[in-house]
Structure 1
Amino acid sequence: MTVTVANVNYAYNSRTQVLHDVSFTIAENQIMGLIGPNGSGKSTLIKVILDLLQLQSGRISIGSDSSQSRNAKMSSIYLSSNDYLPEFLTGAEYVRFMHGLYGEPLDQEELRTQFARYSMRDRQRDLIEDYSHGMRKKLQLIAAFMLRRRFTVIDETLNGIDIDAINLFERDIRTLATDGRSVLLCSHDFTMLEHVADELSLLIQGALVFQAPVRTIIRDHGTIADLANEFIRAMEPS
């Protein structure tokens, strides 16, 4: 599912312009990495793409549908940077709730398998209030990988999970980005992005200042961190 962001601007008020004419495309079967300093507008951009903030100018389409349409919303899933989950539910109840939102049946056997894979065996019946921060993050991932939406957006969801889960995530996200699916992955973990992302976009002060295939970045700059540092230094006052 191709995702198109064209000439998007966003301002919280007349004096605070957050996004400046942002345009990019996420192709089918592609993982787009999104990076930028804190306060660069990444989370605002994600919320505008998913219609959590109203589009003010420009155009956003998810597949052939406007981002504001029901089809686009049913095709998309958003994993936020926080772990604010309903603590009165068990892990299994949360995944069932998420499936219900999309009208999808829950495969109980797959649920048990995914909990075991992410080192949470037999914890699906425990209340979320008893989960650690890392377990809550893994629960968000399990729900997303089971639902397999056509467009998955992950905003710093991996913060706080263990290295084994990171390695498993890298395999699972590559598997997810097949059969016409697309992924937008916002992260400060540049090493992980080098492993999984096909394309990278760099947002600084609300403007998209660079976009290229990850393999080209590694060839020309060495690492994503080196690329980011080059741009940040270039924008510092002399």
Structure 2
Amino acid sequence: MNDLEITGLSYSYGRDVKALDDVGFSVPRGSIVGLLGPNGSGKSTLIKNVFDLLQSQSGSITVAGAPHTTSQAKREAIYLSSNDYLPEFLTAAEYAAMIARFYDLEVEHDLARELFSEFSMDGRYDDLIENYSHGMRKKAQLMVALLVRRRLTVIDETLNGIDIEALHLAEKELAGLRDEGLSVLLCTHDFPVLERLADEIVFLDHGRTVYNAPTSALVAEHGSLERMVYDYLESGDR
């Protein structure tokens, strides 16, 4: 089964701006799929469609086999956005408990404190989020997702802005999700991270799918994901 299945997805803003044009790909169960594309390629629009934050106009989306608009699908997925707009009036402990309740879960606070310590935030779990730096907020988003461990985790540039030690640990934790049979859609421009983690790559431009292939095959063909992207951008095929 695929934990995310997108078929024929198109989306337009008004009459003139087509953000997605017949996009289709899947995130197989127990895999990490990298999502790449320049600004304006449709990545954020796609993710918002997956989470029903934008009403789909055509095509179909399923999460863990259920239509993405259903409560069943929404219980199976968690979205880590590119911004760090967290509720500043809550502590991280309160924020984690709130997110967990969305999934009818309870947070294991001792485990959460251990995780915060591992991510160099020892003693900060009970602090107000308003006192967190940008990087700390990003790490808090990631750690809460690791605590609730959904069938599908979608990460939209959340790893940008965290320190190198936390990034290394995040890679290990995301690989651990995959080892458990869970799935990740990882949207980032950090090419080395994708080469190390992603099983497959989906590369969008102007709302269309340019590449949808195993990471190893793309690296073998182009030398690196970075070279693949730059070759395409310089090719005039856009």
Same fold (TM over 0.5): yes
> 1:16 corresponds to which letter in structure 2?
V
Give me the CA root mean square deviation. 1.1
TM-score w.r.t. structure 1 length?
0.97
Tell me the residue number matched to 2:207. 206
Task: Tell me the CA shift for residue 203 of structure 1.
Answer: 0.3
Tell me the residue number matched to 2:50. 49
Cα-to-partner distance string for 1:154-198 (whole Å, 9 max, x where unaligned): 000011100000000000001112343211000011111111110
Structure 2 unmatched ranges of 5 or more: none
TM-score w.r.t. structure 2 length?
0.97
> 2:154 corresponds to which letter in structure 1?
V
> 2:149 corresponds to which letter in structure 1?
R
Q: Report the secondary structure of 2:179's partner residue.
A: coil
Q: Report the secondary structure of 1:177's partner residue.
A: helix
Tell me the residue number matched to 1:191. 192
Task: Tell me the CA shift for residue 91 of structure 1.
Answer: 1.0
Tell me the residue number matched to 1:74. 75
Tell me the residue number matched to 1:9. 10
Is 1:129 the counterpart of 2:141? The answer is no
- The CA distance in 2 between the partners of 1:177 and 1:56, in whole Å, is 31
Tell me the residue number matched to 1:34. 35
The 4+ residue runs of structure 1 with deviation greater than 6 A are none
> 1:35 corresponds to which letter in structure 2?
L
Cα-to-partner distance string for 1:190-228 (whole Å, 9 max, x where unaligned): 111111110001000110111111111121111100001
Tell me the residue number matched to 2:99. 98
Percent same amino acid among aligned pairs?
A: 46
Task: Tell me the CA shift for residue 236 of structure 1.
Answer: 6.0
- The CA distance in 1 between the partners of 2:230 and 2:136, in whole Å, is 32
Is 1:178 the counterpart of 2:145? The answer is no
Is 1:167 the counterpart of 2:178? The answer is no
- The CA distance in 2 between the partners of 1:132 and 1:110, in whole Å, is 22
Choose 212-221 or 146-155, whichever is displaced more. 212-221
Choose 26-35 or 214-223, whichever is displaced more. 214-223
Choose 208-217 or 160-169, whichever is displaced more. 208-217
- The CA distance in 2 between the partners of 1:66 and 1:175, in whole Å, is 27
Task: Tell me the CA shift for residue 109 of structure 1.
Answer: 1.2
Is 1:153 the counterpart of 2:150? The answer is no
Task: Tell me the CA shift for residue 56 of structure 1.
Answer: 0.5
Structure 1 unmatched ranges of 5 or more: none
